Structure 1
Amino acid sequence: MPRRIDVCNGDADGLCAVVQWRLAHPAQAELVTGLKRDIELLERVQAGPGDDVLVCDVSMQRNGAALRRLLAQGARVRYFDHHHPGEVPVHPHLQAHLDGDPRLCTSLLMDRFLQGRHRAWALVGAYGDNLGAEADRLAQAGGWDATQRAVLRRLGEAINYNAYGDTLADVHLAPGELFEHMLGHADPLQAWARDPVFAQLHERRCADLEQGLRAPLRWESAQAVVRELPDTPWSRRVVGVLANEMVLRDPARAQVVLQPRHGGYLVSLRAPQGTAGGADTLCRRFGGGGRAAAGGIDQLRDDQVPAFLAALEQTDWQAPPV
């Protein structure tokens, strides 16, 4: 019997994209997801002729070989993503919805495809992916008032926070389990009102953020700030959302968070707000990736830090990304 398999990043953007799809197309499906840094998710998927695979917010560039394997095995794949895709396969069983516009995230791509049928969840994904201005614009146009927008923002930020950690032991709830809490509510405002898990995540996020904002600066200049965290469970949870918070508080400068990992650092980078971006371009020079406004490096060696800081200082954030 044909199978349905949903594959997504375990952050707010990925989970909210799949929630929209499953609310629009209810069906039993196997969910394959993971923490924020679990990128090669298609390697975990086995599918064959007649099987339908939905992929959301997963880098095609990092999953190209696995995607080609699934297509060769006869699976049908719908792919929604906003990251740099690399080479896109041409195959009759692949429907690719890809757009690297820095004003978009995968949840907004799904919203566009579904013509706004579950826009509230798209807004949650956009707020969680640090696209607050775009989410506000869509929400205001759709009639959500300031109080409702604040709830959607808190919900998106809480879901996104829960995706960060080195292992499931670091996070409060496995992303797959959190997805079930989300899918149980067609309206995210009702999810917030009726399910205490979301408010609990919000409170824990706020507590971790306060610790992160007290962490010392490693380096700063007129155009960038670098903050270094200790190697603790709370720091592994907050490493990505701290960078988002830093750029909201200091939007004119690029913001970087370093978190120790295996003799080097995990890096989260946010471009200054209102610029052309280039965070992904900079991170790719050091083995990372991302998108124009937000990039990351899974492993920056100690001896690469000076070169990274020099490149950060030399980046022209106003220039169109290469």
Structure 2
Amino acid sequence: MNYDVFNGDADGIIALLQLQLANPTSTVKITGVKRDIALLQQVVEKTNAQGKSIDDSVIRVLDLSMEKNKDALNTLLADGGNITYIDHHRAGDVPEHVNLQAHIDLDANTCTALIVDKLLAGKFHYWAICAAFGDNLIAKATTLAKLAGLNDNECKHLETLGTLINYNGYGSHIDDLHFHPARLYELLLAYSSPFDAIKEGDSPYYILQKLYNQDHSKAVNTKAFYDTERLTAFELPDETWARRISGVFGNELANINPNKAHAIFTINTDNTYTVSLRAPLVNKQGAGDICSQFATGGGRAAAAGVNALPKEKIKDFLAAVEVYYG
């Protein structure tokens, strides 16, 4: 039995989309909400529960921090699994193993779908550009789009679709999402080009666009509770719309004011906070390092988060951001 283990955001979904379009393969799909990143353990649990050997199984892991999946990775390698790992997040020490093919690039201006794009020699380049837009690599994606000969209107469509796919991945639980990420992937697999999805009136593009606009209209009326020359922070309520919009709202704020860091605090049911942090676009470093100082925190240089920040740690978090970018 073969497995695809992928992040439920635009980058993870579109990375897998490109691989499957290039070489259709029957696999078990394992994914979740964007912040559910320790997914490789589910392969270990499934094989143990079924009493089956992982020996000779092919496992592809996409857009998930190797650092957060290290124990499961080592277990599967030891059991004979053949693993291709493609990612751009913090990796820690990459194991040297004959059964591991690791394609890790920590450049702040790349994403997993762009790494896949290189591996496939640009076979589904428009999808890769769409993913880069979704991962808020706006300048990089725009440059690639222009080099590919796309006009401004086509660029905008790819940016919108990427943003919408990314938006669908945010939530505390699968029930918060409009589409289960595996289902959204299946729907998008019908389109060899993102422009085909944009042309079709009943595609996920238009369904998500309507729902996104509803959530976004609520977020833009929120006032910042903390605002300095280095950082602006917003607090969103414990509501499903807030959990869905938090990440893309943070991206939007970062693009509007690229000289500052931005943090979105969303209240959880246990009175902790989910935090989305965006580094200043002029200095896309440090977000992952800052968030990793706190339990349940992590991410990459340009964008990171904390899943459950206690209320009494908010001042410490704000201070850590101020110190880093001071």
The verdict on a shared fold, with TM-score over 0.5 as the criterion, is yes
Instruction: State yes or no: 1:165 paired with 2:174.
Output: no
Kept after mapping to 2: 8 A contact 1:267/1:296? yes
1:100-179, aligned counterparts within 5 Å? 100-179=106-185
Is 1:277 paired with 2:285?
yes
Work out which of the residue numbers 48, 56, 68 in structure 1 matches 2:62.
56
Question: Which letter maps to 1:240?
Answer: G
- Give the corresponding residue for 1:244: 251
> How big is the shift at 1:107?
0.7
Gaps of 5+ in 1: 318-322
| Structure 2 CA distance for aligned equivalents of residues 106 and 191 of structure 1 | 21
Out of 177, 202, 205, the residue aligned to residue 198 of structure 1 is 205
Q: Distance in 1 between matches of 2:284 and 2:28?
A: 38
Instruction: Point out the more displaced range, 202-211 or 53-62.
Output: 202-211
Query: What is the match of residue 8 of structure 1?
Result: 6
Does residue 1:253 correspond to 2:260, yes or no? yes
Structure 1 CA distance for aligned equivalents of residues 12 and 247 of structure 2 = 15
Identity %: 39
Q: How many residues align?
A: 315
C-alpha distance in 1 between matches for 2:146 and 2:55: 44
Q: What SS is found at the alignment partner of 1:140?
A: helix
**CA offsets per residue over residues 71-119 of structure 1, 9 Å max, x none?**
1111100000000101211110000000110000111111111111111
Q: 1 CA distance for matches of 2:66 and 2:183?
A: 25
Q: Residue 149 of structure 1: CA displacement? A: 1.1
1:80–1:96 contact (8 Å) kept in structure 2:
yes
CA contact (8 A) 1:216 1:229 kept: no
CA contact (8 A) 1:14 1:56 kept: yes
Corresponding residue for residue 50 of structure 2: none
Deviation at 1:276, TM superposition (A): 4.3
SS of the aligned residue for 1:41 comes to coil
The separation in 2 between residues aligned to 1:41 and 1:313, in whole angstroms, is: 32
Secondary structure of 2:197 counterpart: helix
Looking at structure 2, the residues matched to 170 and 26 of structure 1 have their Cα atoms a distance apart, in angstroms, of 30
Q: What residue in structure 2 maps to residue 316 of structure 1?
A: 325
CA offset at residue 303 of structure 1? 1.2
- CA distance, structure 2, for counterparts of residue 197 and residue 295 of structure 1: 27
TM-score, structure 1 as length reference: 0.95
Contact 1:157 1:202 in 2 (8 A): no
> Equivalents in 2 of 1:190, 1:94: separation in Å?
35
The aligned residue for residue 219 of structure 1 is 226
* Counterpart amino acid of residue 8 in structure 1: F
User: What TM-score do the two structures reach when normalised by structure 2?
Assistant: 0.94
Deviation at 1:270, TM superposition (A): 0.5
Gaps of 5+ in 2: 48-52
Distance in 2 separating the partners of 1:197 and 1:244 = 21
Aligned counterpart, 1:320:
none
Contact 1:164-1:239 within 8 A present in 2 as well? yes
Work out the CA distance in 2 between the residues paired with 1:9 and 1:142.
Answer: 27
